[in-house]
Amino acid sequence: MDQRQTFLLTGCAGGIGRHLTSSLLARGHCVYATDINLVGLAREGREHGWPVDRTLLRQLDVRDPAAWAEAVEEACKAFGELDVLVNIAGHMLAGWSHDAPAEEVDRHFDINAKGVIFGTQAAARRMVRQGHGQIINIASMAALAPIPGIALYAASKHAVRAFSLACAQELRPFGVYVPVICPDAVDTPLLVPQMNLDAAALVFSSPKLLSVEDLARCVINHALTRRPAEIVLPAYRGWLAKLTNCIPSLAFYLGPFFRNRGLHHQSQLKSALK
């Protein structure tokens, strides 16, 4: 990845998107960085010293297909073409499925699933004409096996994974690659509201949270260079999730153990924040 490329990223006002933007700019690339929170995005750009000649900061509501089309067009006009789209923006609010209000159902699927679909469509139309490109979609370990307590999030991320794997087959003949990354829980602001929710215990069942640095390395050193259809991070947790997905009854036996471990980790994290 020595040659300068143009990236379009979502969710850049914090977490994975913010760190990946900084990492790509440090490597000399051009980044069209977006977020629904333009004020926060601009603040991050100033604080991290993102170079103005290689960075465009724009507000983007990923739920709006027209806004996606405009973003891709502007990125291409500014930097010549679009080489890589990374769909990062996401939404999670843990809770029991029977208690979830209708607006939370909409929010999970509008942002997590439809946002990725609209973005993939907009980028793919341009990349097919170019004859090359990559669309990297961030799913979740929850896309590999249903997770009680985050049923809406898991369902929306299952949709992201399925859509991405199907698009990978459709688009590769045109020179466009679509890796989907399924990471375990990542230490980002998305997790903070979940720390006080018992329903989110399984989110914290991993021995260690992934870092934004882990995700950036995965994108830069693995997805962009090897271009696999799917990356699971870490691999051993992914195999356990896939096994549970293949044999759903295992979840009833393994679930209580991992839930108790998650509750313990939640308690530790809350204590550390005090």
- The active-site residue, picked from 153, 177, 236, 253, is 153
Query: For the chain, what is the HEC assignment?
Result: CCCCCEEEECCCCCHHHHHHHHHHHHCCCEEEEEECCHHHHHHHHHHCCCCCCCEEEEECCCCCHHHHHHHHHHHHHHHCCCCEEEECCCCCCCECHHHCCHHHHHHHHHHHHHHHHHHHHHHHHHHHHHCCEEEEEECCHHHCCCCCCEHHHHHHHHHHHHHHHHHHHHHHHHCEECCEEEECCECCHHHHHHHHCHHHHHHHCCCCCECHHHHHHHHHHHHHHHCCCEEEECHHHHHHHHHHHHCCCHHHHHHHHHHHHHHHHHHHHHHHHC
Q: Is residue 236 annotated as part of the catalytic site, yes or no? A: no
Catalytic site positions: 153
